[in-house]
Copies of this chain bind each other. A is one copy, B any other.
């Protein structure tokens, strides 16, 4: 079928393709993320990753010294990007509604892609494998990001633009509902999970508007 010229043709293997190292590296990490995200580190074989790239097993080793190295490169590439922005309004012009909507876009639209979900599942499932990496990541990526964001929020609170309450003092929690939606997507899959996530988003919006409202969101 594929090769009518010779009746009993062997597997008809593709010509050897040679690509630039960076390109291959990227392909490999992509395939690895897909596989690790789906089957976990231990459940993913080098064979599967190789197949995903259209390369032989041995070919992987021209670019990475070991499965572990692929794993670490993956985490490094994907997690050293700042996880969330710092856009909580240094300018007063935007309404709370607009700010919240921007935030929700970043929480849901940007973060509910297969790629991000896979990374997230990997983080949960395999963090025990690389505790040092996680610690470093937290210290160099998460903590600074949090500090920057907290500064902005505290300033807005001080300026009276936001109320002082449990949320504005622990602003991580602002994305807790989105995290819950991610969990649904991870565990459930399918339209059921999508619907769930959409409902969460709407409720999330309403909750944030209450908690960030200067009148309603105040302590008592």
Query: Which residues of A approach B to under 8 Å, CB–CB?
Result: 38-43, 121, 123-128, 131, 134-135, 138, 165-167, 169-170, 172-173, 175-177, 179-180, 183, 186-189, 192, 199-200, 202-207, 210-211, 213, 216-220
State the majority secondary structure of interface residues on A. helix
Copies of chain A in the complex: 4
Given contacts A42-B43, A187-B124, contact A173 B180 (CB under 8 A): yes
Whether B183 contacts A180 by the Cβ 8 Å rule is no
Of all chain B residues, the one with the shortest Cβ separation from A170 is B203
Whether B177 contacts A173 by the Cβ 8 Å rule is yes
Which are the 3 A-B pairs with shortest beta-carbon distances?
Answer: A166-B206, A42-B43, A166-B203
8 contacts between A and B (CB under 8 A): A38-B128, A128-B189, A166-B204, A166-B207, A173-B176, A176-B179, A179-B179, A210-B216
Whether A128 contacts B170 by the Cβ 8 Å rule is no
| A43→B68 CA distance, assembly (Å) | 14
| A188→B142 CA distance, assembly (Å) | 12
